[in-house]
Amino acid sequence: MVRQRLGQHCRRGATVTDARALLTSARAVLLDFDGPITPLMPAPLNAQAADSARGALARHGFSPEAVRETSDHLTVIRWAGTHAREALADVEAACTHAELVAARTCHPTPGAHELMAALDAAGVPVVIVTNNSASAARTYIQRFDLARYVRDVIGRPTRHPELMKPNTHAIDLALKVAETQASDAVLIGDSTSDVQAAHAAGVRVIGFAKRPRRGQELAAAGADALTTTIAALAL
């Protein structure tokens, strides 16, 4: 079983059952957007977004080999923030446009909406913490009438890609919004940067291991528990 293989790699042998127990103990849930709520940019949309970001760089005279092959538009934003600050605004604008287009057509991750509704019914505040633009996440939320389940959206800081996860910036803000101590919160995310940011802020993490390899990566990063589906948490 995939879940059994993931459990062998997870810290303290955590499994989907442990993930539900961890979620039950949370007084606030911080929820990553791309992955746990929706696969925002499946191929080829991810590569198209990265191409748009590279196009913005090119208009400023940059064609860096370091990001020439990446299909991750956030990698291009990070590069611009470090090496091409004069192009950063245009790179961010290109990426935000691509994210907004994707948010109007992407499909829910199975169980995500049900999980948000269940947390709301239990009186547990949900705050979205994402490296994507807040406008994209809000567009998705409005599209599916989910605003009543979400306390707020903390998105990518404008002109400050260095504050994206694994920086704790978004998590620190989310904890203030939820009026919750870090030790009482749980973050659900699908990337190692989610784990790193959460643990640096003192927040426990449920890793969304949508593939066995991702589960191994999340376990190696120190996720407190793993789940192979969001629907399992919604139960």
Q: Mind listing the pLDDT tens digit for each residue in 79-116?
A: 999 999 999 999 999 999 999 999 999 999 999 999 99
Burial of 121 (0-12, 13-18, 19+ CB in 10 A): exposed
Any idea what the CATH number is for the domain that residue 8 is in? 3.40.50.1000
Query: Do residues 222 and 140 share a domain?
Result: yes
Residue 14's pLDDT band, with cuts at 50, 70 and 90, is low
Q: Are 146 and 137 in contact (CB under 8 A)?
A: no
**Higher confidence at residue 11 or residue 88?**
88
Q: What is the mean pLDDT of the chain?
A: 93
Query: Do residues 70 and 22 share a domain?
Result: no
Total domains in the fold of the chain: 2
Query: Do residues 26 and 129 share a domain?
Result: yes
Instruction: Residue 215: give the domain boundaries.
Output: 2-39+108-234
Residue 16's pLDDT band, with cuts at 50, 70 and 90, is confident
**Distance from C-alpha of 26 to C-alpha of 206, rounded to nearest angstrom:** 11
Query: Do residues 225 and 114 share a domain?
Result: yes
Residues 6+ apart with CB under 8 A from 188: 23, 29, 30, 31, 32, 36, 205, 206, 208, 230, 233
Pairing of strands 152-154, 126-129: parallel
Query: Do residues 97 and 182 share a domain?
Result: no
Query: Do residues 96 and 127 share a domain?
Result: no
End residue of a domain, out of 85, 103, 121: 103
Query: Do residues 81 and 17 share a domain?
Result: no
Answer yes or no: is pLDDT of 135 > 90. yes
Q: What is the mean pLDDT of residues 47-58?
A: 98
Provide the terminal-to-terminal Cα distance of the chain, rounded to the nearest Å.
20
Among candidates 114, 75, 160, 18, which has minimal Cα distance to 173? Answer: 160
Query: Do residues 21 and 79 share a domain?
Result: no
Query: Do residues 67 and 149 share a domain?
Result: no
Alpha-carbon dihedral of residues 58, 64, 65, 71, nearest 10 degrees? -60
End residue of a domain, out of 59, 74, 103: 103
End residue of a domain, out of 58, 80, 103: 103
Collapse the DSSP code of 224 into the 3-class scheme (helix H, G, I; strand E, B; otherwise coil) and give the result: coil
Residue 235's pLDDT band, with cuts at 50, 70 and 90, is confident
Query: Do residues 78 and 129 share a domain?
Result: no
Helix axes 73-83, 85-103, angle to 10 degrees: 160
